[in-house]
Chains A and B, each alone.
Chain A
Amino acid sequence: MNPLVLYQAVAIFLLCVGLYGLAYRKTFVGMLICVELMLNGAGLSIVAAAQLTAADSALGQLAALLVMGLAAAEATLVLAILIVVARRFGRTDQDTVAELRG
């Protein structure tokens, strides 16, 4: 079988598991873990596509590094938002903060 398709299948698996968890999880930390899984799948897909085809390999690796940087930034912000939510509501599940004021 085509090696690229195998790597893409792993990436799609990570995306699917992440999406499932994102819909299934109730706490924000669990959702954050699922988003990290999906971003990993994205990075793997980019690198596999760049390394195994005629595309520019350096560009693919740098794009994957960019994805990792964005994941780190996103995790930092989610941590701060979680602290604010936990301080204000006492819990961090999605049902607690689902209602708008008014």
Chain B
Amino acid sequence: MMENAAKALFAFYCLAIAVGAIGAVRAENLVRALVGLILALFGVAGMYLLLDTPLLALMQLLIYAGAVVVLVFFAIMLTRTSDGFDEARPRPMRAYLFALLAAAVPGLILAWTVTRHPVPSEAKPAAVGVALLGKGLLENYVLAFELISVVLLVAMSGAVVLAFRHKGGGK
């Protein structure tokens, strides 16, 4: 019973990811592409729930759907050009072919590797408490934790410096 429910949910999330990702890539309107990205993000969050990592699902919604999507939306709105959408212009057949090639080659190599050398997998994911994760952040992996904080701080201050530099009427 539970297994069937998990399979159905997996198929549902797969569908959400497929529809969302293809919409994010194919849509001519960038806002529609962003909606597709949001759908794919929710699908991945559902996959995290299936993998028994509720904290990651929450963080996925909080960081990606909450912060990154809003940033991308700002980027769309702040850089909107008056002459319509650049994505709507038709492009040569070559562009589609090269894009397909760029996607197919690494994809096929990775898919071949994964199916050819499957790692034995457990049927049920291992559940890890949040307390253990916090302990890991403060004991074993404290350096990575501090470094990501520094990276975020530098990125935020760098963004502020970049965006404000030309305000005084310089070039």
Which residues of A are interface residues toward B (Cβ below 8 A)? 2-10, 12-30, 32-34, 36-37, 40, 43-44, 47-49, 51-54, 57-59, 61-62, 64-66, 68-88, 90-93
Contacts and interface: CB of A to CB of B under 8 A. Distances in A.
Contacts of B158: 77, 80
B115 to A, nearest CB: 6
Interface footprint category on B: 35 or more
Contact of B122 (A6, A14, A52, A79): A52
Contact of A17 (B21, B48, B74, B111): B21
B166 A87 contact: yes
A66 B30 CA distance: 27
Given A21-B24, A84-B162, A32 B115 contact: no
B110 interface: yes
A87 B96 CA distance: 30
Given A16-B107, A27-B86, A57-B125, 8 more contacts: A16-B106, A20-B25, A23-B103, A29-B30, A30-B33, A43-B60, A77-B159, A79-B74
A95 B159 CA distance: 24
User: Shortest 10 CB-CB distances between A and B: which pairs?
Assistant: A4-B121, A80-B159, A21-B25, A20-B103, A73-B155, A51-B125, A16-B107, A23-B99, A80-B162, A24-B99
A90 B155 contact: no
B166 A79 contact: no
A69 B162 contact: no
Contacts, number: 236
Given A14-B40, A84-B163, A57 B144 contact: no
Q: Is the interface of B mostly helix, strand, loop or mixed?
A: helix
A92 to B, nearest CB: 5
Contacts of B55: 61
A73 to B, nearest CB: 4
A30 to B, nearest CB: 6
Contacts of B132: 58
A5 B118 contact: yes
Interface of B: 10, 14, 17-18, 21-22, 24-25, 30, 33-34, 37, 40-41, 44, 47-48, 51-53, 55-56, 59-60, 63-64, 67-68, 71-72, 74-76, 78-79, 81, 86-87, 89, 91, 95-96, 98-100, 102-104, 106-107, 110-111, 114-115, 118-123, 125-128, 132-133, 136-137, 141, 144, 148, 151-152, 155-156, 158-160, 162-163, 165-166
A24 to B, nearest CB: 4
Contacts of A77: 155, 158-159, 162
Given A61-B53, A77-B158, A69 B151 contact: yes
